[in-house]
Structure 1
């Protein structure tokens, strides 16, 4: 067994978690800043463009959570468990299975959007120029979506082998590229053609293309523990099954997460374009939490997966609990700061007073519950490593029902307006975190 895998099995947990999560957390934080930078660029185009990106946001969220979260976590888990059981040949064979699944996932999302995308955007409130801009963004983004999926899976392979630094470093470089090209293509800076909202989609694809190339080069290098070898190019039913055992149930989570966003977007859209733009800013800030927790969660997936592969369940559970507490505390602190200081940051993105007020409402109600978002999402990633996705999926479904149904009821039966929608979203987020934590403490990974 190699030295790196041995450390995952025997080193003190919290210092190991800090070392492994630090590169990812920094990289994903920088990626989150890119998201905020894009909002700032788009705000210069006006409220319609801000509302259009809010309308398209579920498509972005679904693609990234499926590629990097559901499938990426499943791939990391499979690689880590293979290495934990000291089977490098199996790990290298798994890479090709991940590539096939990634390519198929990207194609399925593109075809689905071509068939149903415009109808969905109209149902969510898209009309006129708002619909036109949102549709154009989604078509460009999904047409090159395979780059996002492949880069996500190959990065997951490297993380699953215990190397968090290289993917993180490449993400930092790609984030710089994305900001540069976003400014160029959205606003026409540096002599680039001014493409508006489509420029944001194009810059994301350029960034993902860079990541894909760099991950392939790494996996072909001598320094990689697991390598992309054509000699391992064969397909086995049990290896597809190993990935899908985690990826299929985990993929329900992005669908229900995006379903929650779609439902809330549709409910908020009833209150006008400024309300939709304000919610778009608020939900994008919430999206800031996901990269931060993702940095911790991807480390937990690898740590838990390796220990589960070595049959060390008690250590795996301890990793899940400590990581969940850490991610929850970090998310809760940031949410509280954002909620207490809205005047310091909302005006950077809001182009009118009505948009500002909606964003402020949202963050002051939902922001204080980010603790439970961080707690639940990090243990969700750890559960992927344990190949035990039942209770994380239950928690995600409960969140969807509470947020969507609760929001609808507060409007139609209690006339609470936007506040009612946002309180329902906060309640769903709280239950999400609590259910996953309680299931872990009651032995969900032992009883799976």
Structure 2
């Protein structure tokens, strides 16, 4: 990053402020579909590369053996919970708060919200590290993993979660930048993080070159180091004025309303994220009763389901900023049009991926499993054939969740997630035992729950809009 001299600083600040004002004006006035596509494109590219990073991690784990894959399946919901909270729930609330402040022409509040965002991110990171350190092993055991799989999961977690401060600060900073309408800078930084983490994770796990072969413990080291670099660069970008925000006197302007502005949306969004993760955890626990191979196969299927979240996030992050700015400016009808445009696009893209894998599941499973892993392959194929056709409903619901963050209306996303969790759990228990369908019954319930999830939030927003703050 170039050094800013004292004489150049005022000119840089003025130019950044003008650029930020231009971006905000585009959010409020430019044609919706082209603007949304322009904003989403760099996010989608960055999320695609981040997905490649997650695929690479699963591949490296597969080289360590089926037990490592099963351990990764046990810890993966907690890892994705960290990502979903920091980038999606709390991160989206940060973007929305900054965007609403800028939509209301209050740049001083937007800058102060950025400082509050870093404080909130740091607190969440500490809480998660403590909880996983205290209860991680008991949690993995509760999911039904064998002793070796639990040991592998604990080894991963005891590296990842003490280091999750880097992930929280990086994602909070990227969310601040997105709130100003700048989607390119976060995308570039996420690309950098993903590109760095892939060789580091593989190198530390498998012992490439001079790096030690640390096995399961090596996988998260690369992720944490890469996010630490991203956090430093993103925070420097913000604090040097390149977002058009001025931080003079920001500490003195902090008040409880700013924490409330982020957490009133972020708390409900976090509940929504927790419900999504709990649903996956409950299903993982039920699948774990069918053995390690079933757990490994389902883990690969659930990993792809989770990997659809970054794809949807690529569009959703753009919607959060665009909806937030329009709600801040009082343009509710335009905010709703933005929500439906982006959400339908996400449903088409993710739904298409789901249909492809429902027909050809080995396109994914074959990257990680040998033909000799028949039990894991059978479980994975069953998952994709019964669940993947309903990915479009999952994408629609999640995209409308991101739009609702921008609007500051989070009740219906939470209701839809509660409905999904209830249908998945109750349906799985009925079909698995009473229906005698075993593992297939669990997967049928998961697919049906996705339909309920997308339908509930979609019908609610279509019928009621965002007439009252929730």
With the shorter chain as reference, the TM-score category is: over 0.9
Is this contact kept in 2: 1:29–1:288, CA < 8 A?
no
d(CA) in 1 for partners of 2:345 and 2:366?
30
2:427 and 2:442 in contact (8 A); partners too: yes
Deviations 1:170-206 (A, max 9, x none): 1111111111101101111123111112111111101
Residue equivalent to 2:13? none
Q: Which residue of structure 2 aligns with residue 137 of structure 1? A: 156
Aligned residue among 392, 409, 412 for 1:388? 409
TM-score (norm 2): 0.93
Q: Determine the structure 2 residue equivalent to 1:120.
A: 139
TM-score, with normalisation over the residues of structure 1? 0.98
How far apart, CA to CA, are the structure 1 residues paired with 2:295 and 2:170? 31
Cα deviation 1:335-357 (Å, max 9, x = unaligned): 11111122333121124111111
Aligned residue in 2 for 1:100: 119
Q: Paired residue for 1:349? A: 368
Q: Distance in 1 between matches of 2:330 and 2:93?
A: 18
Shift of 1:231: 2.9
Compared CA separation, residues 115 and 345, structure 1 to 2 (3 A): closer
The equivalences for 1:161-240 within 5 A come to: 161-227=180-246, 229=247, 231-234=249-252, 235-240=254-259
Q: Is the 8 A contact 2:354 2:391 kept in 1?
A: yes
* CA distance in 1: counterparts of 2:39 and 2:45, whole angstroms: 11
1:365 equivalent in alignment to 2:386: yes
After alignment, is 84-93 or 334-343 more displaced?
A: 334-343
Contact persistence 2:93–2:263 (CA under 8 A)? yes
Contact 1:77/1:385 (8 A) holds in 2: yes
What residue is the counterpart of 1:414 in the other structure?
435
CA distance in 2, matches of 1:391, 1:154: 27
Contact 2:432 2:440 in 1 (8 A): no
State the partner residue of 2:344: 325
Distance in structure 2 (CA, Å) of the matches to 1:343 and 1:392: 33
Partner of 1:5: 24
TM alignment of 1:8-19, pairs within 5 A: 8-19=27-38
- Displacement after TM superposition at 1:21 (Å): 0.2
- 1:249 equivalent in structure 2: 268
The 2-side partners of 1:411 and 1:120 are apart by: 23
- State how far apart, in whole Å, the 2-side matches of 1:69 and 1:84 are: 21
Q: Provide the aligned length of Structure 1 versus Structure 2.
A: 447
1:205-264 residue CA offsets vs partner (Å, 9 max, x unmatched): 01110110110121123432225x363123201111111110111110121111111100
> Are the aligned partners of 1:391 and 1:444 in contact in 2 as well (CA < 8 Å)?
no
Q: Matches of 1:36 and 1:54 in 2, distance apart? A: 13
Deviations 1:281-339 (A, max 9, x none): 11111122111100000000000000000000000000011111000000001111111
CA RMSD of the aligned region, Å? Answer: 1.2
2:103 aligned with 1:84 = yes
Residue 281 of structure 1 corresponds to which residue in structure 2?
300
User: Counterpart in 2 of 1:377?
Assistant: 398
Could you tell me how far apart the structure 2 residues matched to 1:344 and 1:322 are? 30
| Alignment-derived partner of residue 175 in structure 2 | 156
Shift of 1:17: 0.5
Tell me how far 1:401 sits from its aligned partner. Answer: 0.9
| 2:57 equivalent to 1:57 | no
User: SS state of the match for residue 120, structure 1?
Assistant: helix
- Three-state SS of the structure 1 residue aligned to 2:64 is coil
**Runs of 5+ unmatched residues, structure 1:** none
Which deviates more, 410-419 or 27-36? 410-419
Q: Does 1:260 align with 2:279?
A: yes
Gaps of 5+ in 2: 1-17
Match of 2:181, SS?
A: coil
Which residue of structure 2 lines up, in the alignment, with residue 441 of structure 1?
462
- Is 2:145–2:292's contact at 8 Å kept on the other side of the alignment? no
Supply the distance in 1 between the matched residues of 2:201 and 2:364 (Cα, whole angstroms). 21
Give 2:64's aligned residue.
45
Structure 2 Cα separation of the partners of residues 125 and 191 of structure 1: 37
